[in-house]
Amino acid sequence: MRRVTHGSRFDGQVALVTGASRGIGLAVAQRLVSEGARVCVTARKADGLATAVEGLGGAQHAVSVAGRGDDVEHQAEAVRIAVQTFGRLDVLVNNTGINPAYGPLAELDDDAARKIMDVNVLAALRWVREARAAGATAVVNIASIAGLRPAPGIGYYGVSKSALIGLTIQLASELAPTVRVNAVAPAVVKTRFAAALYEGHEAEAASRYPLGRLGQPDDVAAAVAFLASSDAAWITGHTLVVDGGVSLSPGL
């Protein structure tokens, strides 16, 4: 994994990025490290995290904590280790999300619905509580355009992301002026998580996007880095849509 330097907006800062062993979360961690941050990355599997830490530059730049994103003990441990290892915590990026249910809402299993909301929304709130108590002053939640418009087949995932956007707004109001809370809302990004939405028909899927392609994890990481940085010091409660222009297309 090649390290690229983008600037120094995060020199001396420490970030915690959840769901960061691959995909968008790992791209966010890479971007923050490239701008001077040290990062604590979390995910369920220790092996994937070990590979991520190595790619981020090793122990000088990153530490990992394996566990479930909705486990309160894991959340407390991750924040504790971030502070213990690097001396502080400045930024939280809530990237953990699941979608175990596909199909219309009329067929949604109640247990799956509860799990989606617990991981995608309630866990995000808990992470913010832990990070705020440790001194974090910037939070970025990874939402989705599915939370802003109908999302056939992944409707309850969209409902959870609508709730996450609402949570972002409410937390921004309650935690100002000491903590800024924003979100990004990507369209389809080429990750394993979203593979079912484009694999085998990528050209067709991309044809709906005015900018002519699907998103890459780096597209989202750049937006997250902006919102987490001092360049966004007068922005809170905002959801930045990162969608290749697909929202411009009527009926999609």
Residues identified as active-site? 157
162 three-class SS: helix
Q: Which residues pair with 23 in a beta bridge?
A: none
Residue 251 sits at the vertex; the CA angle it makes with 247 and 252, to the nearest 5 degrees, is 55
Residue 212 sits at the vertex; the CA angle it makes with 211 and 217, to the nearest 5 degrees, is 80
Query: What is the separation of C-alpha 220 from the centre of its chain, rounded to a whole number of angstroms?
Result: 9
Token duo for residue 58:
């090793």
Alpha helices in the chain (DSSP H): 23-34, 46-55, 72-86, 110-117, 123-133, 155-175, 202-206, 217-228
Q: How many CA atoms are closer than 13 Å to the CA of 240, on its beta-carbon side?
A: 21
